[in-house]
Structure formats: structure tokens, C-alpha cells
Amino acid sequence: MICVILGRGRHSALLEEWEQAAQAGAELVELRIDCLRKAPDLERILAKRHTPVVFTVRKGADGGLYRGDEDARLSMIRKAIVAGVDYVDLEMDTAQAIKRPKFAKTKRIVSYHNFQKMPEDLEYLAEKMRALDPDIVKIATVAHSVKEASRLLEFVREANKVCPTIGIAMGDLGSFTRILGTKYGAPYTYAGFNPERMFAPGLLLYQQLKREFFHDQIDHKTELYGVIGDPIGHSLSPIIHNTAFRHEGLNKVLVPFRIPADRLEESLNSLRWLGLKGISVTIPHKETVIPMLKTVDHTVETVKACNTMVHEHEGWVGHNTDITAAMECLEAVLKKVTPEVENPLMDKQVLILGAGGVARAIAAGLMQRGAGVALTARKDEKATKLAEELNCRSVPWTGRASTIIDILINCTPVGMHPEVDDSPVPVAAFRPGLIVFDTIYRPENTLFIKQALDRECMAITGVHMFVRQAALQYQYYTGHQAPEQLMYETVKRKLSAAQD
């Protein structure tokens, strides 16, 4: 279950948002009474209860907005209990001051908040909280590493054997604890409702938990997968995989983990207890993860980069679906023109813009298929160095528009935010019939793609490549054919919603 946090400055706005949350499907809301700018009118607030409610008046010391008299705050909570609210949130000192009245139906959430550091002894803290007559224990504490967040979630698994316990590692390093707590017995998790009002670092939105993680379907049997990177909040891997998993009736969920570059091994080791079945790997870990793999396939050996990990036989096996996806996208376009040709990339002349990891992978794949590859980059020396490593040729950046080619591929970040009004080549580079491929997928229709289409080129967007590589990952994760059209439609909707 998801508890939606609501807090507004005016009574009317709070009540309106409560009704909206109920209409959106919320089963439980937390009313943050401390956000009200005027003295709370409990009779008005509780007159029409759209959902069960957690009543909270959070003090400033615990991350709230209440700055009034403490006796008045305690009196307000007691009145809410008399009014029969479903839950009250009581900080540890508040729980000592407010005892459970006889015959009271209101359940007690005894809570602890720490925005500075993770407590060393979580079990000792929980024992102190369990002595305060809770129905639910809630620990929300900042996490300065994935290791700390993982320790809190593992604690939740054990604590729920004793008493219903919610453990939240605040911050984006611990966002996975908000998704997975219920798998390990937590009675519910917390989510925001309005993106303009977020009440804690790392808080996810209600609709995100519902639509991207299918949170209400996660249970103790759910198999876990992950996507690792830094940054990771922009990743479309969770929504594309989770939509496919649930559409196919598979009890699996893929969760994002923000892992800083210098914490890869420590973080993955700390997550081992989760039993992750597979991991999608993105920047900056595609190369550095390789030493941690038990075996790799030929694609990883070729490009020295891994974007897919599958746990088999007590070890990780590495794959690279980027290279296969890129080749299949190009071959699909070429076969529309020459369907009779078995290897349509053979002898095609290709210019790749960029000299990073994606450029390396695509160049290696093209060369394996007999294409002639040239590299160019804004720093000529980088293109020259990579070309020497791959045994292909390089072209000066100033010559990128005059090189005679069949295929032009952008592997630079030009066209992404904040360079959305830029293209890596002048318009003169495009000629009718040229195949143009942009590996950027946010936005899908970059200026590079728009100019190519205006000049009657055949275009492949980064969305096509992203969906295809995800479909290949899905096959590794499940052993089933991926619902590729559904995955494509899911990504398109997500990108369209983000633009709106």
C-alpha cells in the first residue's frame, strides 16, 4: 500500500487535494497538519474523509513546519485521536507524552527522523521505539551511501518479524528502500502527490510508484532486477521493463540504484543479499563493472563495455545489448531498400560522430559486419586514438560534412539538454537517401534528426535503439520474447508526458 503525503497552507487546498488523491486511487493519505498557515479546524478537515488518514503535526526538529506551542500541538493530536482518525504519527518524545486511551481505535505510528546520519545500531533504536506502545514503527533517516541504505532495508526485513516496521533511507541513494520495503513486510510506503510539494529528499511520486513500479503488486515473492548508474533518475529502464514484466504476468520488478563511480564494488556487494537476478548497467559503470563479472560474452570482449548483467551459477555473466541493438536497427532500415542482401552492412561506408563508449561499441559492431568505419570527434586526437585502437580510420572534425558516406551516426551528446537547439553537423552533411542514426533518445526528435528528415534522409532515432536493447535485455532476464511494441509505446508515452 502507498500512503500519499498531503500538505497545504490553506484548509480548502488541503481538502481539495485529498479528494484528488482519492480519485486517483490513493488508499491512505498522511495529512501534514503542520503545513497549515492558520490554526487547524479539525472539525472541517475531518468532516468528509475521502480515505483512511494518518494525522501528523511534525515539529521543526523532526523536519516539519510546526513552530507553535508544544502543549497546543499535543492537544491537537489528542483531539484527532478522540475524533477517530485511523493513525497518528508520534515522534518518540511525543509517544511518551501521549498514551493510548482506552477503547481508542486510532493506531499509533511511533516515528524517528534523522536528516544528518544513519544510526549505528538500528536494532537498539527499534527496541526503544517498540517500548512506546506502537502499532507501527517508522524509521526515516538519511543515507550517505547505497551500503547504508541497504543496511536499513535489511534491518526492515528482520524487524518486521517482531513488529510492523517501515524503514526509509532518505535521499536518492536510498530511493530503492521506498519501493522495496513492502516486499520485506513494511505495511506501506510513502509517496508525494504534487511534484511541486515534496516533503523529504528522495521521495517518489504516487503515480510513479503505481505506473512505473506497479508497487501494489510487489510482494515477498517478487524477483528483483536493477539498473545502476549515476545519475539514474532519468533512466527509462524501470518503466519499460516493469511494464513488460507485468503485461506478461511476471512477478518481477526492476529498481534504480544510484551508485557513484567510486562506490561500485562496495555498493554491489552491499546489495548481494537482495538476490538480484539481473542488472542493467549505464554510465559511468559500463567498463568498470567488467572485473566484477564471472564471465562475459563476445560482445563485451569486443567493445570492452557491459550494459547487461545476468546472475547465473552463483556469478554474474556480462552482455552488451547496445551493440546488437544498433546493428539490428541499421540492418532493418537497409533491408527495406535491399531485402535480398544477406549482410546489408557489408562495404557500407559509415561516419561516426564521437569517440566515447557508444561510438566504440557501434564501430566495433559495424567492422565485424564488414562496414568501412571512420571516426570523428570535436577533439581530433580522441578520434585518432580510438581509430588506432579499433584499426579503422579517422576524419578531422572540420571534414565531417564533406566525407562521402552511406551512413551517418551521432554518438555525441549534442542535441541533448541543454544543447537541444544544436546539431553536430551542418545541414550540408545531409543528402537524400543517406541513413542517419542518432543515439540520443531524450529528446527523440533532435535537430539532427529533424534536419535529416527535411533533406529526405532515412532516420533512426535513439528511441528505436533504446527499445531494441531493452528488448534484448528482457530476453536475458526472462528467457521470453519481449513485447517490443508495448515497450516502444511505453517509452513514447513517457517521453511525451515529460515534454508536456
All 3 cell numbers of residue 492? 513514447
For residue 434, give the nearest of 407, 463, 403, 467 by alpha carbon.
407
Which burial class, exposed, middle or buried, applies to 37 when counting CB atoms under 10 A from its CB (0-12, 13-18, 19+)?
A: exposed
For residue 427, give the nearest of 401, 446, 404, 409 by alpha carbon.
401
Could you confirm whether 48 is annotated as catalytic? Answer: no
- Mark residue 483 as left, alpha or beta (left: phi above 0; alpha: psi -120 to 50; beta: remaining): beta
Q: For helices 357-368 and 321-337, what crossing angle results, to 10°?
A: 50
Main-chain dihedrals φ then ψ at residue 95, nearest 5 degrees: -65, -30
HSE, CB side, 13 Å, CA atoms: give it for residue 111: 23
All 3 cell numbers of residue 323? 551493440
Query: Which regions of 247-345 does DSSP assign to beta strands (E)?
Result: 252-258, 278-281, 295-296, 308-312, 315-319
CB 480 within 8 A of CB 474: yes
Determine the residue type at 349: Q
For residue 361, give the nearest of 331, 333, 325 by alpha carbon.
325
The rounded distance, in Å, linking the Cα atoms of 372 and 179 is 47
The rounded distance, in Å, linking the Cα atoms of 404 and 427 is 15
The rounded distance, in Å, linking the Cα atoms of 7 and 59 is 14
**Rounded to the nearest 10 degrees, how much is the dihedral formed by the CA atoms of 1, 137, 254, 485?**
10
Which burial class, exposed, middle or buried, applies to 354 when counting CB atoms under 10 A from its CB (0-12, 13-18, 19+)?
A: buried
Give the N- to C-terminal CA distance of the chain in Å, as an integer: 29
The DSSP call for residue 286 is: T
Main-chain dihedrals φ then ψ at residue 72, nearest 5 degrees: -65, -40
CB 210 within 8 A of CB 216: yes
- The active-site residue, picked from 286, 294, 450, 494, is 286
Query: What is the torsional sign of CA 179, 182, 186, 189?
Result: positive
DSSP reduced 3-state for 314: coil
Determine the residue type at 305: A
The rounded distance, in Å, linking the Cα atoms of 492 and 486 is 10
The residues assigned a catalytic role are 286
